[in-house]
Every structure is written in C-alpha cells, then in structure tokens.
Amino acid sequence: MDDVVIDIFGRAVVPQSSADAEAEDLAPALEAVCFALNRAVSTSEASEILGRSPRAVEAAAEVLASQLRGRGLMLQRHAGAIQLVTRAEEAWAVHRALNPERPARLSRAAMETLAIIAYRQPVTRATIEAIRGVNCEAVLDHLEQRALIAETGRQDTPGRPRLFGTTLRFLQIVGLESIADLPAMPEGADLAGLVDPVLEP
C-alpha cells in the first residue's frame, strides 16, 4: 500500500510520488482493458472495471498515453473517454493491411464546419453560421449522423441553443490524440473575440 503522510490539518495525504506510482501500476491494466474492449471506454466505466477512482484512471491514462509515444498505438482522450487506436503516422501500414472501405468524403462545407467546431468547441449553430455566412443545419445534421460531432450541452442564453463539440470519432479520423493536439491557428488570430453582429448581439 502507498505511504500515507499526515498533513498539518491531520488529514491523510498520499504523497505525489505514490500517486504517480499507482498510475504507473494501473497503466498496463488500463491498456489491457482498452485493447480487449476495443471501443471507447469512459473514465467511470474503466474506474468500475479496475476498482480504482476515476482520478486514478485519468492519471493512468496520462501515463499510458505517454508510454505509447513512439509506438504503433496511441491513446485517444476526449470528453471523459479513452480509446486505444493505431497511431496516425502508421496509417499507411494499416491501410495496406486492412484495405478499409473509404468513408464517403466530406464536402468542403462539412470540412469547414468541422474545423470551426474543432477549434471553437463548444459552439452554437448560430456562431458557426455567422462565421460561414450560410445556413449550416443540414451540414450539422450530417456531421452528427456520422458521429463526428455531438451535442455537448446547452448554452445558458434565451432559447438554450445546442452546443456542439467534436467526438472521439473525429480524433480517429484526423489521427490526433486529443483536441489539445490540433495544429495552432495562425498567430494573432484572436478568434474568441469575434462574434457575429447579427446573430450574437
């Protein structure tokens, strides 16, 4: 069992090093579970399977993701879920092995919409339409049907519009470990401050 230190308030505290050690210990089990289930696993589900706290699972996921760097697999993490997938850099080899059916191509409208959602998530349809200047309803429906985007909540404004974000499937398509790995937008692009004068007064 980990060493426990009593802090000045008399509380038992697991030293950071012990938490790290626990994460190191748990990482292989997490890897095995992800491999065996072969689908996205939520932190709470993994926590239940492994009998550890969600926080411990998240720490183990961090360790596992780091251990897998330089290997043929990677751990994708998004919105409280993880999945073990082949690394994007090795896609060429997997394509040769599986010769997978290519999914229907995305239109440019869909790609632009997806990029806006990826960089600005969570984002409302009104904001997307303000940026693109056209109605995006059908494009959003299509992206949602293809599980590339999902509703992440409702904005706390009149009408409570839906908020959209990307999914693990999106990460799989673009081959990123997490949204944090999205390529940086050009410097000086202060996107957060840009709003539509019509739709977002």
- Footprint of another protein on 68-107 (CB under 8 A): 74, 76, 81, 83-88, 91, 94-95, 98, 100-107
Binds another protein (CB under 8 A): choice among 27, 64, 114, 163: 114
Report the distance separating Cα 119 and Cα 71, nearest Å: 27
Closest CA to 73 of 31, 22, 102: 31
Report the distance separating Cα 44 and Cα 98, nearest Å: 32
Binds another protein (CB under 8 A): choice among 19, 21, 50, 174: 174
| Residue 173 touching another protein (CB under 8 A) | yes
Residue 93: half-sphere exposure toward Cβ, Cα within 13 Å: 7
Q: Minimum Å distance from CB 14 to another protein?
A: 32
Q: Minimum Å distance from CB 169 to another protein?
A: 9
| Residue 32 touching another protein (CB under 8 A) | no
- Residue 34, exposed/middle/buried by CB under 10 A (0-12, 13-18, 19+)? buried
Nearer to another protein, 10 or 186 (CB): 186
Binds another protein (CB under 8 A): choice among 20, 55, 111, 154: 111
Q: What angle do CA 15, 21, 27 make, to 5 degrees?
A: 140
